[in-house]
Amino acid sequence: MLSLTETIGRSVQEPRAATVCCVILGILLINCLVKAVYRLWFHPLRRIPGPFLAKVTSLYFVPSTFKNDRVYRLRALHNKHGPAVRVGPNEVSLSDWRMYRRIYTEKTTLKEPRFYNPFSFLGHGNVFSVTTVFTDTADHAGRRKLQAKTYSQNEIRFHASEILERTDVLIDRLLKLATDSPTQTADAYEMFGAWGIEIICKVLTDTKIPDDPSETIHTLKALESSPPTFFANILMPLLQTFKLRTSIPGPLGHAYRAFAEWERRTASMLKTFQNQSRDPDEKRQFGAASLLDADNKHLGRKFQFREALEEAMGILLAGSGVSGHTFLYLTYALARPEGRRIQGRLRKELEGAGDSLSELTALPYLSAVIKETYRVFPAIMSTLPRILGQSLEVVDTDIILPPGTVVGMQNYVHHRDPVLFPKPDMFIPERWLEGHELNQDINLHDANAALTPYSVGSRNCMGQTLAKTELYLSVPRFVKRLDFSLSSKMKEDDMHMRDLWAVLPKGRRLFLDLKPLVSQARSVRHLATLYGLCFFH
């Protein structure tokens, strides 16, 4: 039994503990209330329209982030509130395409560290994740310069034959799948992903590609399953250094295990390249040589292996995803019933065209189809946030955003500006051709300026020359060799774009009914093309 003294002492302590808890809770509530009052009625952004909760808390978009539909919510908010929407206590989303270059080319804006830091996969930083102060861009510039030559026009010419070879392999794989199917149907989704990965692996490390795509598909699945870790790292930064994160149960643990597999496979490719004995001049034609052997001017030394590995992981993710996604959705657009007309018109334009890149890039309808794919199906949907270093006036409004404001735009939103792009949700390549009814009252120069698939400024996609070359060489080959239509196996929302930084189709499948259009035999001209003899004049 407790003594009288102990009983009295405990009875005194319990009310004190309850009082302390109440005081702490009261302080927290008062703090939240004061913040809410300030953000609603005294904050510099108080007059910017937007959802009530977004003005009060930065957690407003957390549900949309986990549902992978953030960009669709943003478009709805812009349709309701106009070109500037307050989407956080100190964050504004803009939708007017004219603001894009103001935000992403000005040297007075800074990458938002909370968004980009989680893209530092191994903690060393990479060209995609590096954030700088307004006056110091040396780190990013040093990393970009180190890799710039690999993705220049001159160097990409060296890889042109490999791009076409991988495209022919893609077509052959699809035809085999169709031949093995009683309905002549092939699921093209994984094959397009393998195409993108195999090309970037050749460009990066000259990887020997096996005939069986299963290993490449394992890499594809690791890349696709990793993005949830980016968002988890934003919301819970401690997970980046949590050693047992691969043991977490459920989808999040699966994502971290996929990330570990992505790291392992990239390291294996890099080590194989590092250990190869070959002519130094030949070796320098591949991206890994710059990462492993060249001096980083900012660091004043070569990358250590783990630093080079992190850069290579970023290149593998971005280099395979953007091109593979664009090619996949272009094929989907042309395979739909309403796209069969487009497919036929494109095939007719290609009948008299040569194989050189200069000839293909000059074809107006091919360019229109590629541009419309960029517009309707942007590979990167997510907001790319920046912090203003000075005031920014929003065009055609009386809004002036103060320094320190987080601002951002999304390709998906301004690519669907109904003023610049009438019938914005429809895939109509003709809108990019002079004289079409959809652009009678529109300046095509403005439309082209509003098309930003690779971003703009010093932070734009350094691999865009490779990506464009892939499409201009591969799409004609694909359309000339195959007649393709959407299979009845496809569901309405299978190709719905999920906002996972890089877009991921909801169903992860694209069933196509296929028919070969030309003989599978390799002609003399085709063999010459594979060895790069008739690409460039």
Instruction: Report pLDDT digits (tens) over 487-497.
Output: 999 998 999 99
Where do we find the tokens 């000339």?
480
Contacts of 427 (CB under 8 A, 6+ apart): 333, 338, 339, 342, 372, 373, 376
CA distances from 499 to 89, 321, 377, 456 (A): 22, 13, 11, 21
No. of helices (H) and no. of strands (E), the chain:
23, 14
Phi, psi of 204 (to 5 degrees): -80, -50
CA 46, CA 416: separation in Å to the nearest integer?
27
Asked whether the predicted pLDDT for residue 91 surpasses 80, the reply is yes
**Distance from C-alpha of 355 to C-alpha of 218, rounded to nearest angstrom:** 33
Give the model's pLDDT for residue 243: 80
Q: Is the pLDDT of residue 68 over 80?
A: yes
Q: Tokens in use for 369? A: 């189809």
Tallying the residues shown for the chain, one arrives at 537
Whole-number average pLDDT of the chain? 88
pLDDT of 149 reads: 82
User: E strands of 289-344, at which residues?
Assistant: 295-296, 301-302
pLDDT at 313: 92
Alpha carbon distance 240, 535 (integer Å) = 45
> 194-228, pLDDT tens digit by residue?
999 999 999 999 999 989 999 999 999 999 898 88
Q: How far apart are CA 343 and CA 363, in angstroms?
A: 14
Nearest C-alpha neighbor of 325 from the set 157, 176, 184, 192:
192
Alpha-carbon torsion angle 358, 360, 363, 366, nearest 10: -140
Structure tokens at 103: 């935000």
**Are the C-beta atoms of residues 440 and 431 closer than 8 Å to each other?**
no
Query: pTM (2 decimals)?
Result: 0.89
The tokens for 174 are 């699809």
Under 8 Å CB-to-CB from 136, ≥6 apart: which residues? none
Q: Name the strand (E) or helix (H) holding 293.
A: helix 287-293
Residues 291 and 303: their CA atoms lie apart, in Å, by 7
502 φ/ψ angles, rounded to the nearest 5 degrees: -80, 140
Q: Which helix (H) or strand (E) holds 505?
A: strand 504-505
- Residue 401 token pair: 């955003």
Structure tokens at 50: 């937007």
DSSP secondary structure code for residue 114 in this structure = H
A 10 A CB-CB count for 149 gives 15
Listed range (41-55, 111-125, 248-262, 373-387) with the worst mean pLDDT? 111-125
461 is in an annotated binding site: yes
Residue 516's CB is within 10 A of a number of other CB atoms, namely 16
- Does position 285 have pLDDT exceeding 70, yes or no? yes
413-459: per-residue pLDDT in tens? 999 999 999 999 999 999 999 988 888 888 899 999 999 999 888 77
Which tokens in the block code for residue 276?
Answer: 């190869």
For 286, which DSSP code? S
- pLDDT above 90 covers what percent of the chain? 60
pLDDT at 136: 54
Q: CB neighbours of 225 closer than 8 A, spacing ≥ 6?
A: 254, 255, 258
- 132 contacts: CB under 8 Å, gap ≥ 6: 110, 111, 138, 139, 140
**Torsional class of 159: left (φ above 0), alpha (ψ -120 to 50), beta (otherwise):** alpha
Percent above pLDDT 70 for the chain: 92
- Beta strands 185-187 and 109-111, pairing class: unpaired
pLDDT score of 535 more than 50? no
Alpha-carbon gap, residue 362 to 374, rounded angstroms: 18
Dihedral sign of CA atoms 170, 176, 180, 185 in order: positive
How is 167-214 classified by DSSP, letter by letter? HHHHHHHHHHHHHTSTT-EEE-HHHHHHHHHHHHHHHHH-PPPPSSTH
For residue 411, give the 3-state DSSP assignment. Answer: helix
Q: From the centroid of its chain, how far is CA 313?
A: 14
In three-state secondary structure terms, 519 is coil
Backbone phi, psi, residue 442, to 5°: -125, 140
What Å distances lie between residue 278 and 291, 294, 404, 476, CA to CA?
Answer: 17, 16, 51, 34
Burial of residue 288, with CB atoms counted within 10 A of its CB: 0-12 exposed, 13-18 middle, 19 or more buried: buried
Considering only CA atoms, which of 504, 482, 477 is closest in space to residue 493? 504
pLDDT score recorded for residue 368: 98
Centroid of chain to Cα 283: 29
Mean pLDDT value across residues 242-269: 91
